[in-house]
Amino acid sequence: MAFGAFATSAPVVESAPRRRSRVALLLLLPGIAYLALFFLVPLVSLILTSFQEKTPGTDIGVYSYAFNLENYAFIFSTYGEHMLRSVFYAVVATVLALLFSYPLAYFIGVTLRRFPLLQALALTLVIAPFFISFLLRTLAWKQILSDEGPVISTLKGLSLLGSDAHFTGTAGAVIFGLAYNFIPFMTLPIYTSLEKLDLRYVEAGGDLYASPARTFFSVTLPLSAPGVISGTLLTFIPISGDYVNASNAFLGSSETAMVGNVIESQFFTSQNYPVAAALSIVLMAAILLLVSIYVRKSGTEDLV
């Protein structure tokens, strides 16, 4: 379902001999064991934690197992705003990253096709930021975009911004940071799709009276949809849970806190593990729901 976008629709071989399926099972065993140990067990533990209640008469941070739905009631009444904000930021940042990445990926994958060396160089440049920790890069942006930084002071100097204007700590700065940090994750899958794009389809579009814009929307974009879908998922999912960009220490402020920031503070500051766990579960469920609707709607199954 949700991850169908990554899989190519390979024909299912029904009549494979029995023995082979046993070998396949054996080969799958390490993977299954890994998932059970490092995904399933923590997930169950997380779910159980989310129902815990405070042990009476103990210090902060001591909880006992129970079936306590109050944690969920509490987060929906208290942190609903943060959840909506997270989804909103994630959608806007994903769209921004897409708008920036698609032309870039097209340029690298199609325009530079005849120059393999330049193409390789451009791809390296897309990946290059990964060589520096994203914490450092985000901090650098904080410096650049700060009130005394070169951007804001120049804009102020040109009277394009009022003297009391500031950018860091606002929603705009957080969304900017999120989009910036995830652009490579958007660009690479789209590049992979566009790099394989057979330009003869584009020519056929022109031959059949479609203007370049029409050809783009009817031919190029649908044919690169697998890359766009992979890219948006790889961007949207981590952005929804991000807690770095929106935090006080980086590009955000208390007004821009996302679910990730709440989980962090509940866990580390308040030591309210059940609430943090419940928030994680809700965030995960929300992402799964949104992503499966998105993948269903975009109908990737039919794509080649």
Q: Note the residues at the interface with other proteins (CB under 8 A).
A: 198, 200-201, 203-212, 214-215, 218-219, 222-223, 225, 302-304
Choose between 271 and 298: whose C-beta lies nearer to other proteins.
298
Q: Shortest gap between Cβ of 122 and other proteins (angstroms)?
A: 19
Query: Both tokens of residue 136?
Result: 């450092």
Q: How far is the CB of 236 from other proteins (least distance, A)?
A: 23
Residue 24 or 118: which CB sits closer to other proteins? Answer: 118
By C-beta, is 19 or 200 nearer to other proteins? 200
Cβ–Cβ < 8 Å for 168, 177: no
Kindly state the smallest distance separating residue 214's Cβ from other proteins, in Å: 6
- Residue 109 CB, shortest distance to other proteins, in Å, is 17
Nearer to other proteins, 158 or 213 (CB): 213
Neighbouring-strand partners of residue 53: 64
Strand partners, 54: 63
Spatial distance between the Cα atoms of 136 and 21, rounded to a whole number of angstroms: 48
Neighbouring residues of 108: CB distance < 8 A, sequence distance ≥ 6: 119, 122, 123, 126, 187, 191, 194, 195
In the bound state with other proteins, the residue whose beta carbon lies nearer, of 113 and 156, is: 113
Question: Cα–Cα distance between 2 and 171 in angstroms, integer?
Answer: 29
Question: Closest approach of Cβ 193 to other proteins, in Å?
Answer: 12
List phi, psi (to 5°) of 13: -90, 115
